Amino acid sequence: MISKPDQSEFGSVFSADGSEFFYGVDINGKAEIRYSKMENGTWTRPVMLIGHETYSFNDPMLSPDENRLYYISNKPRVGAQIGDYDIWYSKKLSNGWSGPINAGKNINSSKNEYYISFTSDGTMYYSSNKNAGQERDYDYDIYASKQKNGVFQKSIRLGNQINSTDYEADVFIAPDESYIIFCSTRADGYGKGDLYIGFKQENGEWSKAVNLKAPINSKNHELCPWVTQDGKYFLYTSNQDIYWVSTEIFGKGK
């Protein structure tokens, strides 16, 4: 019901109890967020949860308390034009989800912000080309923004053990920040974009990120990493379909 030959599936996330599933679908260049839930032991047929006839919604991610659903969209802000992707969110209501709310200026810029992941304390990790030169719009980096009293603080670019002069995006951060997974295009890559992993060291610094290699990475584009709340299963997109594998494939990483 999820990975179909006539559409492209991207970012995906289960609720903590595993009973709800959110994912992005791109059809002819326009994306929407779809939703399925477990009812009486069976998954319901996916329905469109957030979409629009003109602009796109993609990369769904639940906040740690699951009271907000975050996503990216080229929905225009006041005075802005379609084409600049921002991070938005909807609040959980008694009868569904609220309309889109912009995540604010400490997250979003006049360029693109992609994908979202959270630590258990609500720190947001995401990627952006906000500091890329005009001739290097492909140069995305990974940033982190802590929350203080429910407000995102100024975003900080991660160091050179993670970021490089290549493309770094689609970041998943472990809830305890013990490891990080992201997509990058590097010389040791297998294809159009590979997934890399780095581990937090005892001194608080990140280890140098390494390629997850085959069978995860391939000649296709691997992206949209996410790990279930119990830490057991790794979901990602490859060749425009969603796959899963045991997290045992990561190894200890020390």
Q: Specify the pTM.
A: 0.94
Query: How many domains in the chain?
Result: 1
> Which pLDDT does position 247 carry in this prediction?
93
> Which pLDDT does position 241 carry in this prediction?
96
Residue 142 lies in a domain: yes
Residue 1 lies in a domain: no
> Which pLDDT does position 225 carry in this prediction?
98
> Which pLDDT does position 28 carry in this prediction?
87
Range of the domain at 115: 8-250
> How many Å apart are CA 55 and CA 181, to the nearest integer?
28
CATH of the domain at 141: 2.120.10.30
pLDDT tens track of the chain, all 254 residues?
Answer: 999 988 999 999 999 999 999 999 998 889 999 999 999 999 999 999 999 999 999 999 999 999 999 999 999 877 556 668 999 999 999 999 999 999 999 999 999 999 999 999 999 999 999 988 777 778 999 999 999 998 999 999 999 999 998 899 999 999 999 999 999 999 999 989 999 999 999 999 999 999 999 999 999 999 999 999 999 999 999 999 999 999 998 875 43
